[in-house]
């Protein structure tokens, strides 16, 4: 049986769709042997690697995050804000180390000090996760040794390459598929988000080539700053992976 690696993209609140993907994989009997993630994908990957179920992680996210992540930013609250995320991690994964996880995990962050992407797989965990999820200009960089860590998505929002050679097959869950807009008016945040994903689209496409199965839940009506549709986003991820059930099961043979 093939060892399966799973890569989870960043995407803020849309990252909840990864949980639906994980739920579907579990129902198919797919055991993930190693996980790679950036930003929200890294946080979800860490909690799953620690042994929490997709449903438990969904409940955790909903309990600690306002319906709007912008409200979370302004109030320094919400699961994906540094203060609350650090507190949740201390409670959920008290050992604070990659080595304590039940499933190997690789977390990609961006090091502003060296202007490069960096991937962690050992050592302290909480600080790396908070750094990987620290959206530039909204949250302060995390200082770790000689590094200044910010959102992993800046340089590599879909870190599939680091799984190459560490597993037999790779499943990718990417929650930021770019679709043509209807041409309607976009908010400033929607403009900012769309420009960001356009800027990194070429890098994401290159990373997607490492995946044997690529799952891209269609989430055009959900932005990365709103949690009010968390249950719907979960279901879309679940339906997306179940739609590729045959291809996923073939990987495990």
Catalytic positions: 39, 151
The C-alpha atoms of residue 202 and residue 191 are separated, in whole angstroms, by: 19
Are 159 and 200 in contact by the 8 Å Cβ rule? The answer is no
Q: Phi, psi at residue 7, to the nearest 5°?
A: -115, 135
Cα–chain center distance at 148: 20
Four-CA torsion 54, 57, 59, 62, nearest 10 degrees? -120
């Amino acid at each position: 049986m093939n060892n399966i690696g799973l890569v989870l993209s960043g995407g803020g609140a849309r990252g909840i769709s990864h949980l639906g993907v994980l739920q579907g994989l579990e129902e198919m009997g797919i055991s993930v042997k190693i996980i790679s993630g950036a930003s929200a994908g890294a946080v979800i990957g860490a909690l799953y690697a620690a042994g929490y179920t997709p449903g438990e992680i969904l409940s955790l996210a909903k309990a600690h995050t306002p319906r709007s992540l912008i409200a979370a930013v302004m109030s320094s609250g919400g699961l994906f804000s540094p203060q609350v995320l650090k507190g949740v991690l201390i409670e959920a994964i008290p050992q604070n180390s990659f080595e304590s996880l039940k499933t190997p995990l690789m977390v990609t962050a961006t090091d502003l000090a060296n202007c490069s992407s960096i991937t962690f797989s050992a050592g302290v965990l909480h600080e790396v996760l908070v750094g990987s999820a620290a959206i530039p200009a909204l949250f302060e960089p995390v200082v770790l040794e000689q590094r200044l860590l910010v959102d992993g998505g800046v340089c590599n929002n879909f870190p599939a390459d680091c799984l190459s050679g560490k597993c037999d097959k790779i499943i990718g869950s990417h929650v930021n598929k770019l679709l043509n807009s209807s041409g309607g008016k976009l908010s400033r945040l929607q403009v900012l988000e769309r420009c960001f994903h356009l800027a990194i689209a070429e890098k994401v496409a290159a990373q997607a080539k490492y995946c044997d199965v690529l799952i891209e839940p269609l989430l055009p009506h959900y932005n990365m700053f709103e949690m009010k549709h968390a249950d719907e986003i979960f279901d879309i991820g679940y339906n997306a992976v179940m739609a590729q059930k045959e291809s996923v099961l073939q990987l495990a043979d």
